[in-house]
Homo-oligomer: A and B are copies of this chain.
Amino acid sequence: MTKTDMKTAAIIGGGVIGGGWAARFLLNGWNVRVYDPSADADRKINEMLDNARTSLPRLADVPMPAEGALSFVADIKAAVENADWIQESVPERIEIKHTVFMEIQKHASATAVLGSSTSGYKPSVLQEGATNPKQILVAHPFNPVYLLPLVEVVAGGETDPAIVDRACELLTSVGMKPLKVRKEIDAHIADRFLEAVWREGLWLVKDGVATTEEIDDAIRYGFGLRWAQMGLFETYRVAGGEAGMAHFIAQFGPCLQWPWTKLMDVPELTDELVDKIATQSDEQSGMHSIRELERIRDNNLVAMMRGLKQTDWGAGRLLNEHDQRLKDVN
């Protein structure tokens, strides 16, 4: 990569998600400017960068580009001026987001991508009252952002389609998997599934059917492994066997429907339930610090994705394609 190719990302909000974005861009050769008003953002992001520097290069079989320059800046203006990508990861309150967008657009290039990490808001809601709604879209990533490839890219009513294409191209160039979402919907796609499972999990814990550890085991020793490579529908296609997908649905649809009539309402997050979950989680994982758990998680993700590189499937195929791009650039 030549100097003139170097791109700059502005990271507005440097928590777990913003910090993950910073690491993803930086280790892929971008310059990164971070703005976060909290006192310990530098420390936290540097800790996350240590994790990312250990894990992300292990996914590549060719040298990664030289790291870009990282700076922590004092205001939004200093972060966003002449940035190619501006990523907002501030708290999930719409008035905060609108205020931040207003300030960003005072200083940003009109052709920059302005992505929001929001998991809940639709892009059209983010665009309300904006100076330049054309450049605003949702770019919703998944923790740890420096390792997991998925980014949901959602355009609002006023987003410029050229900005969406540009966003997908840039995300691909840093090894990610942009998924263009066809329609705006609350919580986009993936989080709708996470919420459906979370809701069900809360009931099971509340009713004493299973502990947090038993629920985690029910996922990671079974369908979690299936979903890491094929997802939901392709898995069922295979399960349906020679008779095909329509047969599968006809056969299993009614039987899957039985428990649909129960537990469809939302469990109340009482203090008692929160305490029960926290206590069970301590019993399950309290022997590891969060730092240790992060490293364990990252090592596991790297190990599985390296496995999938051998089969050239899903995340593995994506990584092989990224290797090829890195080779072409070098």
Contact indicator B221/A224 (Cβ below 8 Å):
no
Q: Does A36 reach chain B (CB closer than 8 Å)? A: no
Q: Does A142 reach chain B (CB closer than 8 Å)? A: yes
Contact indicator B301/A225 (Cβ below 8 Å):
yes
Contact indicator B186/A258 (Cβ below 8 Å):
yes
User: Do A244 and B311 form a contact, CB below 8 Å, given A150-B217, A221-B148, A231-B220?
Assistant: no
User: Do A278 and B224 form a contact, CB below 8 Å, given A192-B200, A230-B216?
Assistant: no
Contact indicator B297/A308 (Cβ below 8 Å):
no
Partner of A304, one of B181, B213, B229: B229
Q: What are the residues of chain B within 8 A of A201 when measuring CB–CB?
A: 193, 232-233
User: Do A297 and B255 form a contact, CB below 8 Å, given A231-B220, A274-B250, A303-B310?
Assistant: no
Stretch at the interface among A105-113, A131-139, A288-296: A288-296
Chain B residue at minimal CB-CB distance from A303: B307
Q: What are the residues of chain B within 8 A of A233 when measuring CB–CB?
A: 201, 212-213, 215-216, 277, 280-281, 284
Contact indicator B308/A303 (Cβ below 8 Å):
yes
Contact indicator B221/A209 (Cβ below 8 Å):
no
Contact indicator A232/B198 (Cβ below 8 Å):
yes
Stretch at the interface among A95-103, A162-170, A312-320: A312-320
Contact indicator A249/B232 (Cβ below 8 Å):
no
Chain B residue at minimal CB-CB distance from A294: B238
Contact indicator B222/A142 (Cβ below 8 Å):
yes
Contact indicator B193/A219 (Cβ below 8 Å):
yes
Q: What are the residues of chain B within 8 A of A297 when measuring CB–CB?
A: 226, 229-230, 235, 238
Q: Does A60 reach chain B (CB closer than 8 Å)? A: no
Partner of A143, one of B239, B260, B277: B239
Chain B residue at minimal CB-CB distance from A244: B278
Q: What total of chain A residues lie within 8 Å of the partner, measured CB to CB?
A: 117
Q: What are the residues of chain B within 8 A of A230 when measuring CB–CB?
A: 216, 220, 297, 300
Contact indicator B210/A181 (Cβ below 8 Å):
yes
Partner of A277, one of B249, B254, B256, B308: B249
Q: What are the residues of chain B within 8 A of A229 when measuring CB–CB?
A: 220, 224, 297, 300-301, 304
Q: What are the residues of chain B within 8 A of A187 when measuring CB–CB?
A: 258-259
7 A-B Cβ contacts within 8 A?
A16-B241, A193-B223, A216-B231, A216-B234, A230-B300, A233-B280, A253-B274
Q: Which residues of A contact B (CB under 8 A)?
A: 16, 92, 119-120, 142-143, 148-150, 152, 177, 179, 181-183, 185-187, 189-201, 204, 207-210, 212-235, 237-242, 244-246, 249-250, 253-266, 269, 274-275, 277-278, 280-282, 284-285, 290, 293-294, 296-297, 299-308, 310-311, 313-316, 318
**12 additional contacts (CB under 8 A) given A191-B256, A296-B313:** A148-B226, A183-B209, A187-B258, A193-B197, A194-B256, A225-B304, A227-B227, A238-B294, A245-B281, A253-B274, A254-B269, A257-B269
